[in-house]
A and B are shown apart, each in its own frame.
Chain A
Amino acid sequence: MNGPLLVVLALAIPSLGAAGIALTGPLPQRREGVTLASAVLLALVVVRLAAGVFTGARPEVELFEIMPAFPIALKLEPLGMLFALVASLLWIVNSIYSIGYMRSNHEPRQTSFYVCFAVAIASTLGIAFAGNLLTLFLFYEVLTLSTYPLVAHHGDAQARRGARTYLTVLLFTSIIFFLPAILWTGALSGTLDFRPGGILAGRAGPLATAALLALYVFGIGKAALMPFHRWLPSAMVAPTPVSALLHAVAVVKAGVFTVLKVVVYVFGPQHLLETGASTWLVYVASFSLLAASIVALTRQNLKARLAYSTVSQLAYVVLGAALASPLALVGAAMHIVMHAAGKITLFFCAGAIYTAHHKTEINQLDGIGRRMPFTMAAFFVAALSVIGLPPLGGAWSKLYLALGGLEGGHGFVLAVLMSSTLLNVAYLMPIVGRAFFPLHPRTRGDGSPEGIAEAPKLCVIPLGITAALCVVLFFLAGDLEAMLSELFQAAPPVPLAQGGG
């Protein structure tokens, strides 16, 4: 099969999957079968596409012209391919987990849950494959709208309030900042296509570039850069599978991915470095990075703490984009992958704890490690990866970002990253500590320790897989860099990570 057909297929599979789920809704077995089948098929198609893209193929499709000279077009490139790969592979794992979680917790309206989920995945792929800003914007908005019912899933007052904040912030930023930024870009350069080296070089002065960059980074609300991060903690009212795949991977990563894509293919890193227009963003991202970590420390609800941790980790990617030096960009792109594996595991664990013991607050977790040793071990591994310790994936992206900071002459970035790492330790490790070494071990009536009580297998297996992925990614860093190096052509010829590092 040829490239363009596969590209269309990659969008069509989850969309048709959504229709199939809606039709088979009354039969849970079949409905979940359709979900899994679409996830697997999609992953096969995306892997097939990736094999082509990483060897130099650049399939493109023009679907139709929405306005003269502004078509809806898809065009693959390594950055988007990597993002699509992450989203589609994790969708399989997450689907298994969803089935376990939704069944065990007897969640209502499961059919609409799976339908919206599939639509969200389709729009995520649309964002990853978008060939121009207009196409990206289209799928960006569809992603916001299709995830709104998922956030409001429980339908109670809290869910409605959270969902309203979610929708308002994301739509507000996209309409007030993102859309005008696209209009401005079109007015300056006459095109909205993503092109290597950017389309604004030589067309926008330093001041205009800096203003435009501000419109983009704040307009792309999904990147959750402070002060437009409130929607992410609000989204945590959703069922945990949603928080795991969408609000740790697909939606938020769509945000930072868009920032990265805009920096690389619209501004052009060279243009940003020459004008120095992104220097301010280095400081803003650093602030967001540290401030969110500090807020995370104060949150006692497990999912809320993880949400603020995500806000902080997203700022890493924005920081990399702001630094705009080749190493920083490689680090930012890698961080999308590394953080995805780590954070989805952490959310899976939070969901598993809720499913097995209905605990949501951190101070309820004393001794949970004895009862759920496997889950908490996975939590430990993922936490280490998010902190950035070898031999886990998270180590590489932080290293690249730090080197990128030095390369760009922003030495203080090193200090920011180090303090953030310490903060990560401070808000993640006490959870592990409490779980395994409680001050007051809980016992049964006769004094013997409580037995093992893990969540259902369908919940535990997925989190085992993603935790293992954190380790595997550590050894794949070299390959990742090789995939991305073509993208950042100014990258130094000697790769830092060879094979096993």
Chain B
Amino acid sequence: MIIANLPALQVVVPLVAAPLCAIFRAGHRPWRITLAASWAAFACAVALMRRVLDEGTVSYMLGGWEAPLGIEYRIDTLNAFVLLVVTGVGAVIVPYAKRSVESEIQPDRRGWFYTMFLLCLAGLLGVTITGDAFNIFVFLEISSLSSYVLIALGRDRRALVASYQYLIMGTIGATFIVIGIGLLWTMTGTLNLADLASRVRTMEGAPSVLSALAFLTVGISLKLALFPLHLWLPNAYASAPSTASAFLAGTATKVAIYLFFRFFFTVFGGENFVSKTPIPEMFLVLSLCAMFVAATVAVFQEDVKRMLAYSSVAQIGYITLGISLGTQTALAGSIVHLLNHAIMKAGLFLLVGCMVFRVRGFRVEDLAGIGHRMPLTMGAFTLLGLSMLGVPGTVGFVSKWYLGVAAADLGQWWLVGFIMLSSLITMLYMGRIVEVAYFRVPSGAAATATEAPAGLLVPGLVLAGASLWFGLDTSFSLGLANRAAAALVAGVF
């Protein structure tokens, strides 16, 4: 029973837990409910992945209504992998949330924070698991609306502006997506992704189909903050509560990228997409811009969280670069970077949260000398920073290697050079923090800081450990990424 209904449970568990949090708002109860729900969701994702590996693609008819009329949940290696990433990040972050939320959010709002957190999780999981285009839109809006609230709960009034900015941009994105889906529906008469895929291929080059693709591309690009549509992201991540920044950085953009994979390769057909549309060339240029411009902007940020946010935009550039190359190796690199970047960025945000918890400041200057006062936190931060740089033995190296190999296989040696050069900019902005943290004399709050409580510190350390583990033993991450990439290139769903 449970096994058969796993796909539904994956979404239903957080979705039902959310109103529970809103009802039982007092004391630690919302946190306990969230903890239980997020770990249950992770367990579901693990069980689903096992089923996908055993049986191949899992198809689940919601309410027993047959596709294409009913809503189908369809899980192959790719979305099982993304489900694992999203729930995994959630499961690591919730233990952290307790102390962090207590220190950053007023007591009467804490219950609502957890409600929104679970809604956001449910929305993201729904987008990932569903095989229905309109359902994607609905879940995407659930996750977006709840994330606007999460950001608005941030430390000061700037959070409201950031949230409003995100709301405007996010809504424009959602509008583009729904127009794209609507166009597809008028052309094909179906909303089921698998069904869409087979019908779209028979109407190659039809203007409406191409405009649908264009609308979807712009809409999703806004959601994942592809350069130059990224302007909402730095403000949003910088102003949000630490827990929300870490969670959104690790999951929200990753799910939007998953939509690219699904629409570009599954629906529009892998080969056709690469050879018959100008999107790959466009993405190549935009990805390189993101990798260089956003990274350079990151170097000059005074606010640590803004710096990490700009770095996210740059790292998303690596993922879209893989999409633009479109070969199996490149896609495997992109998919594995979904996981790798989620680990690194969520970990960095959590660790910065630990430092902020002690020093009560977000500026680079506030962290002067913190390396001597909080050696574990800063050690883990340095390790993740090295991983961002792509030092061998860490996850960052694996992603960079795969993208490099993909570019080399295509004979694009200049691109290999660019990929390597971009990591030097990463070295500049990560190195700056590390130098300030270790070589300055602690001042102000940093002078008396001690390690953050275990509840805050351990999740960050777990992610830092994961960046080493998946950097050395890639059989899990790369194995799945390669499987998923092969299916994408073949256009199998």
| Residue picked from B424, B435, B439, most chain A C-beta under 10 Å | B439
Contact B416 A183, beta carbon cutoff 8 Å: yes
- Per-position contact with B for A282-302: 1 when CB-CB < 8 Å, else 0? 000000000000000000000
Tell me, in angstroms, the Cα distance from A176 to B417 when the chains sit together.
Answer: 7
| Interface-side segment among B62-70, B110-118, B256-264, B387-395 | B387-395
Residue among A134, A176, A180 with max Cβ neighbours from chain B (10 Å): A180
Contact yes or no, A176 B439, CB < 8 A: no
Residue B420, interface by CB 8 Å: yes
Provide the A172-200 mask, 1 if CB < 8 A to any CB of B, else 0. 10011001100110110000000000000
A68 within 8 A of B: yes
Asked if B473 is at the interface of the complex by the 8 Å CB criterion, the answer is: yes
Contact: B398 with A67, CB < 8 Å? Answer: yes
A: number of interface residues (CB 8 Å): 28
| CB-defined contacts of B393 to chain A, threshold 8 Å | 138, 141-142
A145 located at the interface, meaning its Cβ lies under 8 Å from any Cβ of chain B in the complex? yes
B474 at the interface (CB under 8 A from A): yes
A319 within 8 A of B: no
- Bound CA–CA A145/B390 (angstroms): 13
* Contact residues of B between 312 and 340, Cβ < 8 Å to A: none
* A446 is an interface residue with CB less than 8 A from chain B: no
Question: Which residues on A sit within 8 Å (CB–CB) of B390?
Answer: 175
Interface pair A72/B478, CB less than 8 Å apart: no
A164, B475: Cα distance in complex, Å: 36
State whether B391 touches A145 (Cβ < 8 A).
yes
- CB of A66 closer than 8 Å to a CB of B: yes
Give CA–CA (A137, B398) in the complex, Å. 13
Give CA–CA (A391, B434) in the complex, Å. Answer: 49
Q: Say whether A274 faces chain B, with CB atoms less than 8 Å apart.
A: no
Structural contact, B472 and A72, CB atoms closer than 8 A: yes
Which of B386, B401, B417, B482 counts the most A-chain CB atoms under 10 A from its CB?
A: B401
| B405, CB-defined interface residue at 8 Å | yes
Contact A180 B439 (CB under 8 A): no
Among A67, A141, A164, A186, the residue within 8 A (CB) of B478 is: A67
Interface set, chain B 347-400, CB cutoff 8 A to A: 386, 389-393, 398
Q: Does B423 contact A (CB under 8 A)?
A: yes
- A67 touches which one: B408, B421, B435, B474 (CB < 8 A)? B474
Taken together as a complex, chains A and B put the C-alpha atoms of A404 and B421 apart, in Å, by 38
Residue contact A64 to B392, C-beta cutoff 8 Å: no
| A183 engages B405 (CB within 8 Å) | yes
- Specify which chain A residues have a CB less than 8 angstroms from the CB of B391 in the assembled complex: 141, 145
Within 8 A of A (CB), among B434-475: 435, 438-439, 471-475
B189-219: CB near A (< 8 Å → 1, else 0) gives 0000000000000000000000000000000
A67, A134, A152, A167 — which one has the most chain B CB atoms within 10 A of its CB?
A67
Closest to A70 in B: B401
Q: Is the CB of A186 within 8 A of B417?
A: no
User: Residue B427 at the A interface, CB < 8 A?
Assistant: yes
Contact status of A175 and B424, CB under 8 A, knowing A72-B472, A183-B404 = yes
A205, B421: Cα distance in complex, Å: 27
- B472–A184 contact, CB under 8 A? no
With A160-B439, A187-B405 known as contacts, the answer to whether A65 contacts B421 (CB < 8 A) is: no
* Chain A window 149-178, contacts with chain B (Cβ cutoff 8 Å), 1 for yes, 0 for no: 000100100001000100110011001100
The residue that A160 contacts in the complex, of B398, B424, B435, with Cβ under 8 A, is: B435
On whether the beta carbons of A138 and B392 are closer than 8 Å, the reply is yes
Chain A proximity of B4: nearest CB distance (Å): 34
Q: B386, B404, B420, B472: which contacts A145 (Cβ < 8 A)?
A: B386
Known: A66-B472, A160-B435, A160-B439. A180 touches B417 (CB 8 A): yes
Q: Is B102 an interface residue (CB 8 A)?
A: no
Name the one of A65, A145, A164, A180 contacting B416, with C-beta atoms under 8 angstroms.
A180
Closest-CB distance, A134 to chain B (whole angstroms): 7
The 8 Å CB contact of A179, one of B404, B439, B473, B475, is B404
Residues of A within 8 A of B472 (CB): 64, 66, 72
Q: Given the known A-B contacts A68-B478, A137-B392, are A155 and B439 also in contact in the complex, defined by CB atoms under 8 Å?
A: yes
Q: From the candidates A72, A145, A155, A184, name the one contacting B408 in the complex (CB within 8 A).
A: A184
Contact A176 B474, beta carbon cutoff 8 Å: no
A residues in contact with B401, CB < 8 Å: 67, 183
| A48-88 at interface with B (beta carbon < 8 Å) | 64-68, 72
Q: Are A176 and B404 in contact (CB under 8 A)?
A: no
User: Is A172 touching B424 in the complex (CB atoms < 8 A)?
Assistant: yes
CB B441 to nearest CB in A, in angstroms, measures: 9
A168 to B391, CA, bound (A): 14
Q: Given that A145-B391, A171-B427, A176-B420 are known contacts, is A152 also in contact with B439, CB under 8 Å in the complex?
A: yes
Query: Which of chain B's residues has its CB closest to A149's CB?
Result: B438
Check if A66 sits within 8 Å of B398, measured CB to CB.
yes
Give the residues in chain B near A160, CB-CB below 8 Å.
435, 439
Q: Measuring CB to CB, which residues of chain B are less than 8 angstroms from any residue of chain A?
A: 386, 389-393, 398, 401-402, 404-405, 408-409, 413, 416-417, 420-421, 423-424, 427, 431, 435, 438-439, 471-475, 478, 482
A-B residue pairs in contact (CB < 8 Å), sample of 27: A64-B472, A64-B473, A65-B473, A66-B392, A66-B472, A67-B401, A67-B478, A137-B392, A138-B393, A141-B391, A152-B439, A160-B439, A171-B389, A171-B427, A175-B423, A176-B420, A179-B404, A179-B420, A180-B416, A180-B417, A183-B401, A183-B404, A183-B408, A184-B408, A184-B413, A187-B408, A187-B409
Task: Give 7 nearest A-B pairs by CB, closest first.
Answer: A138-B392, A187-B408, A183-B404, A175-B420, A183-B408, A141-B391, A180-B416
A-to-B contact residues, CB < 8 Å: 64-68, 72, 134, 137-138, 141-142, 145, 152, 155, 160, 164, 167-168, 171-172, 175-176, 179-180, 183-184, 186-187
New A-B contacts (5) at CB < 8 Å, excluding given A65-B473, A66-B471, A67-B402: A141-B393, A164-B435, A171-B424, A184-B408, A187-B405
